[in-house]
Chains A and B, each alone.
Chain A
Amino acid sequence: MLELRGLTIRTDCNTLVDDLPLDLAEGELTCLIGPSGCGKSSVVKWLAGVLAPELRVRGRAALDGRTATLPHRDIAYQPQQDTLFPWLTITENVGLGLEIRGLGRHAARDRVRGLLPSFGLQRHADAFPDQLSGGMRQRAAFLRAIVQETRVLLLDEPFSALDAVTRLAMQAWLIDRLAERPRAVLMVTHDLYEATRMADRVLVMAGGPGRIVADIPITTPRADRSEAALAEIRSTLRSMLLKDTS
């Protein structure tokens, strides 16, 4: 559905990403995994239309075969931090994307209020972000991305700010939320446990310059992904990642 061809990102003296192709399919969660600094965040930022303007970029993105100008209204983006505005309530924060995409303020907030219960946030509708725990804030941030009902969802290390226990709970929870509506999800992570637990497909990126070195589908149903079932694929991924960093 979303195709990316020949993405090259350069600084004045360095190539961050070199001639990178990427295909995302509807209903599929693709994890982009790689060592720090390999350019995986740059790829996602470019797709979100927020790459730093001083970087030089060549490449083409197409949605259903048609060239997409970025930022695109069918692509939602969740950066590493939850980026909830401290002066807006949870309802206002979550509805922000809808409002910017042209929905009226009241309509946006009504739709958000309807969705808060399924995200466990109904008691915090009028709370401010600093009154919520890290996990709750992250849920609100996910809801803000998901409520926009885009066909593509970009998640840049969405769990990196959470503690280990909350992270596990949030991973399972996000899988359930994403299953409610088919969309293409691209998630950046550097955690291969996270990638193998969640993804339908894992793309391994190597740095200097950034390129994709492996495309590994994970066909085991998520319910059957025990530690033992994933051991082999993890060890393959681990050796790939270690080879690249050594």
Chain B
Amino acid sequence: MANIRSSYPALVLACVFLGGWEGYVAITDASALVLPAPSDVLNGLWIERAAIGRHALATLAVACLGFGLSVVFAFAVSIALHFSGWLRRGLMPLLVASQTVPIVALAPLMVLWFGFGLLPKLLLVILVTFFPMLVSLMAGYASLPRPFRDQLVSMGATGWAVYRRAALPSARAHFFAGLRISATYAIVATIFAEYAGARQGLGIYILSAKNNFRADLVLSAVLVSAGLTLALLAAIRGAERATGRRYQRASDA
């Protein structure tokens, strides 16, 4: 109930926006080739539901696989950087630099280097989603208060024990924040990778709809991609709630 009430303003604004859009198209009689009305978009989505569904599933599979690998990779690198100051100083600037490479330039290059298969898409998703998670994890480790670390060290804890028992749990809230940021990039990055070249996926569907002057279907696919991202976020929120009641105390305290 509280959830419905808190999303009330968003619903009102969305309705106002869509109503205005629908009304504008009706009044100006704009061409559906240029600006399809929301009702046209929904209609297109319904008619093309089988094709869009198939492409959406392909996108979701690639995004989830890439995102999953990215989480594993971010953890592995964060542990390495946590324990090696040398590596941290050496690798962090390079990782920051990697984030400045425009995805527009990278996506076609990936296709050029690795073909139209799974690999270039996974690489692109990992490249885009990895960094926010790594930065969140590192910030999380650093948030461990010094007295907590001291307490463990005085008990004779090794560096790994301090990491496992204190640094890692205190990074949990940061990690999930990074995970949510990355999740919003994951679907978009996959679509972009598919746009640069693929056999299946929303990206290639959008490309072909655009080439056929079907603006309504482009927007239908966009709607579905937004839905996929929201579903991914909801899954992450669910995982966070299910796995860590005791950790919520840490962030509430």
The interface of chain A, by Cβ under 8 A from chain B, is 45, 48-50, 71, 73, 75-77, 79-81, 83, 85-89, 96-97, 100-101, 128-130, 148, 154
Contact = CB atoms under 8 A, between A and B. Distances in A.
5 nearest CB pairs, A to B: A77-B154, A50-B150, A48-B154, A86-B250, A100-B155
Contacts of B148: 83, 85
Contacts of A83: 145, 147-148, 150-151
Contact of A79 (B150, B249, B252): B150
15 contacts: A48-B154, A76-B154, A79-B150, A79-B151, A80-B147, A81-B145, A83-B148, A85-B166, A87-B249, A88-B246, A100-B152, A100-B161, A128-B246, A129-B249, A130-B249
A50 B154 contact: yes
B230 interface: no
B241 to A, nearest CB: 15
A49 B147 contact: no
Given A77-B150, A79-B150, A148-B155, A96 B165 contact: yes
A48 B250 contact: no
A140 B165 CA distance: 18
B247 interface: yes
B157 interface: yes
Contact of A71 (B149, B153, B165, B169): B153
Contacts of B154: 48-50, 71, 75-77, 154
B13 interface: no
Contacts of B155: 71, 76, 96-97, 100-101, 148
B147 A128 contact: no
Contacts of A75: 154
B144 to A, nearest CB: 10
B71 to A, nearest CB: 21
Nearest to A141: B151
B153 A49 contact: yes
Interface of B: 145, 147-157, 161, 165-166, 169, 246-247, 249-250, 252-253
Contacts of B247: 87
Contacts of B169: 85, 87
Given A81-B145, A128-B249, A129-B249, 6 more contacts: A50-B153, A71-B153, A71-B154, A79-B147, A85-B148, A86-B253
B23 to A, nearest CB: 53
A7 B31 CA distance: 85
A183 to B, nearest CB: 16
A81 B149 CA distance: 12
Contacts of B153: 48-50, 71
B146 to A, nearest CB: 9
A76 B78 CA distance: 31
Looking at B148, B155, B156, the one whose CB has the most chain A CB atoms below 10 A away is: B155
A75 B156 CA distance: 10
B156 A100 contact: yes
Contacts of A80: 147
A130 B253 contact: yes
Contacts of A73: 156
B147 A45 contact: no
Contacts of A88: 246
Given A79-B150, A81-B147, A87 B156 contact: no
Contacts of A129: 249, 253
Contacts of A48: 150, 153-154
A10 to B, nearest CB: 20
A148 B157 CA distance: 14
Contacts of B156: 71, 73, 100-101
A228 B98 CA distance: 73
Contacts of A89: 246
A71 B154 CA distance: 5
Contacts of A85: 148, 165-166, 169
Nearest to A45: B150
Nearest to B169: A87
A50 B252 CA distance: 28
A50 B247 CA distance: 26
Contact of A87 (B145, B151, B246): B246
A88 B253 CA distance: 13
Contacts of B145: 81, 83
Contacts of B157: 100
Nearest to B151: A83
A73 B155 CA distance: 7
B157 to A, nearest CB: 5
B242 to A, nearest CB: 15
A73 B149 CA distance: 17
